Amino acid sequence: MIIKLKQIQFAITSIVYSLNQTALNVLRRKKSIKIILMMLKKSTPQVHSLNIKIKNFESIILFFIKKGISFKYSLQKERIASLNSQQINDDLNSNIKLIEYKQSITPIISDQIQKLNNTFNNLLEQLKLSSFNYYQKDDISIILSKELYAKGYDLLDELIY
């Protein structure tokens, strides 16, 4: 009878220990979740501000590029009047070279954009915080709890009979 009581006491102690460990793990995970959420809340305005600055910067760059290209490769009436035939020929040649340059650089730019998209997609997959399941029990905890349950149930059967 004393041995059975000690076995029951041991089983109960084991179950309580397992429950305490599980509770500690849950508390740690909740704390981690709170920290991650705080970091996300703090970084959201900064990310938004950075996106706005990037868009403004891109629009400024595009404006200057378009203006520069249109000035370089357009023949205006005032400019034509002041140019001699050699200069007009040079200007027309540069326009033809622009078309060739555009055709040669378009695939390079497309490849680089594709590589950048792939890199961002890979980073997104690596950082999928939404797919984390913080409440999912690991296999060791499940096996341990089943073993402890079976031991407790066996001890209960032995005590009854």
Identify the segments of the chain with pLDDT beneath 50: none
3-state SS, residue 161: coil
pLDDT of residue 114: 92
Please name which of 109, 75, 111, 112 lies closest in space to residue 92, comparing C-alpha atoms: 75
State how far the Cα of 37 lies from the Cα of 111, in Å rounded to an integer: 36
Q: How many folded domains does the chain comprise?
A: 1
Identify which of 50, 39, 42 has the alpha carbon closest to the alpha carbon of residue 129. Answer: 39
pTM to 2 decimal places: 0.34
Q: What is the pLDDT of residues 34-49, one digit of tens each?
A: 888 888 888 888 888 8
Position 127, amino acid: L
Dist. CA 91–CA 74, nearest whole Å: 9
Query: What is the predicted pLDDT for the residue at 160?
Result: 63
CA angle at 144 for the pair 141 and 145, rounded to the nearest 5°: 85
Residue 73 backbone phi and psi in degrees, to 5: -105, 15
The H-assigned helical ranges of 73-138 are: 77-82, 85-126
Judge contact between 141 and 22, C-beta under 8 A. Answer: yes
Q: pLDDT tens digits, residue range 49-68?
A: 888 988 888 888 889 888 88
If 0-12 CB within 10 Å is exposed, 13-18 middle and 19+ buried, where does residue 24 land? exposed
Q: Determine the structural domain holding residue 134 and report its residue range.
A: 2-160
pLDDT at 39: 84
Neighbours of 80 (CB within 10 A): 11
Measure the CA–CA gap between 72 and 93, rounded to whole angstroms: 12
Those residues whose C-beta lies under 8 Å from the C-beta of residue 95, and which sit 6 or more positions away, are: 73, 75
